[in-house]
Amino acid sequence: MDPVYEISGQIRQLAAGKDLSDPALAAIVSSSGQDGALACEADAARRRMYGTDVYLRGLIEISSYCRNNCYYCGLRAGNAKCLRYRLSEDEILECCDEGYNLGFRTFVLQGGEDPCQTDVFVCSVVSSIKKKYPDCAVTLSLGEKEYSSYKAFYESGADRYLLRHETADEAHYRKLHPDSMSLGRRKECLFSLKEIGYQVGSGFMVGSPYQTADNIVSDLRFLQKLSPDMIGIGPFIPHHATPFSNFNSGSAQQTVRLVSVLRLMFPYALIPATTSLATIGEKYREKALLSGANVIMPNLTPLKVRKKYELYNRKLVSSLESAQAVSELEKMLERIGYRAVSSRGDVKRG
């Protein structure tokens, strides 16, 4: 059979909510031939669920300390050149004040696994934000913690938690992480977060070293088991002071294609057009939005420390990435047929 015809039939199946075989998914993931059709179906699916709304999240990078040593990440403990900082509760609240005035109704507190950031601190920050801004959602992205910590954060008012699984394949996971980390533990954390009641986000890097199309199929299968509310993916981008400094970046085109596949497989999901994608090229932010993404996370981190939160080379610190540029972002969204909405933007699932 003509392979192009075969894939487009499969895209119709995906769009109709049917599952595909592993080889069929691997073929879609690897080929650019149907990108236009995929984007078109994915955009129709996002419009059915979310109309033209794009939710804005204010990202606050609260600590650049991390006890882990993921081989891909510039914040890894072994990177002695990484400039470390930790925001105080007052500094975080100032970011929220600024974000609230700009129209943000979700604050995402993201950081490395900082051993000096106590549960008491995190709980205090979360409850202060919720007290001051009860109409806002608080999302945490602070890595792997004990069940009791996740529970305490939730009871302090945290609504959502982002924890990418990074790769769902055991052998691939081992190529990206030192022995001190485990995929089993990562998955256990994700299921704990769900059980506690969080809206949960997961995701993976596209084009990380040694990744195969079959690995990506495993990622999609894992996401089907987890059924997360939010799914974040972005291209791998090398960081100069990591063991992966000499690897190539992941493909932005393949990332956009996967955004479409995710939208078709998880029509209800909140899917961001990520910073790493926009770092490869500003036009990919727009492409992702036109291909199924419905969330943007501009950066509210104080400018004086923003450059220090360097996950990968040349991470965007200005332009549309900056929360302060929200009016430009609104114009861009309008130009491509969407609108920024100032609301919590919770997941819509039936």
The residues binding ligand 5AD (CB under 6 A) are: 72-73, 164, 166, 205, 234, 236-237, 239, 276, 311-312
User: What token pair was written down for 342?
Assistant: 């100032």
DSSP alpha helix (H) spans, 142-281: 147-155, 170-176, 183-196, 213-226, 252-265, 275-280
69 close to 236: Cβ distance less than 8 angstroms: no
Residue 312 contacts which entry, ligand 5AD, ligand SF4, none (Cβ below 5-8 A, type-dependent): ligand 5AD
Nearest to 171 by CA among 211, 221, 213: 211
Residue 229 contacts which entry, ligand SF4, ligand 5AD, none (Cβ below 5-8 A, type-dependent): none
Considering only residues 58, 143, 203, 207, which one is a binding residue for ligand SF4 as defined by CB under 6 A? Answer: 143
Considering only residues 20, 75, 226, 316, which one is a binding residue for ligand SF4 as defined by CB under 6 A? Answer: 75
- Residue 337's Cβ-count burial label (10 Å; 0-12, 13-18, 19+) is exposed
Stretch that binds ligand SF4, among 25-33, 70-78, 272-280, 338-346 (CB under 6 A): 70-78
Minimum distance between the CB of residue 79 and ligand SF4, rounded to whole angstroms?
9
CB closer to ligand 5AD, 130 vs 172 = 172
Q: Which residues pair with 160 in a beta bridge?
A: 139, 199
235 close to 312: Cβ distance less than 8 angstroms: no
203 binds ligand SF4 (CB under 6 A): no
Measured distance CA(34)–CA(24) in Å, rounded: 13
Stretch that binds ligand SF4, among 37-45, 62-70, 287-295, 320-328 (CB under 6 A): 62-70
Rg (C-alpha) for the chain, rounded Å, is 19
Residue 76 contacts which entry, ligand 5AD, ligand SF4, none (Cβ below 5-8 A, type-dependent): ligand SF4
Strands (E), the chain: 53-56, 58-63, 106-111, 137-141, 160-162, 199-206, 230-235, 295-296, 339-341
CB closer to ligand SF4, 63 vs 294 = 63
CB closer to ligand 5AD, 43 vs 61 = 61
Residue 239 contacts which entry, ligand SF4, ligand 5AD, none (Cβ below 5-8 A, type-dependent): ligand 5AD
Residue 276 contacts which entry, ligand 5AD, ligand SF4, none (Cβ below 5-8 A, type-dependent): ligand 5AD
Nearest to 91 by CA among 107, 106, 74: 107
Considering only residues 20, 70, 137, 163, which one is a binding residue for ligand SF4 as defined by CB under 6 A? Answer: 70
Contacting ligand SF4 within 97-116 (CB under 6 A):
112-113
Q: What 3-state DSSP class applies to 21?
A: coil
What residues make contact with ligand SF4 under the rule CB under 6 A? 66, 68, 70, 73, 75-76, 112-113, 143
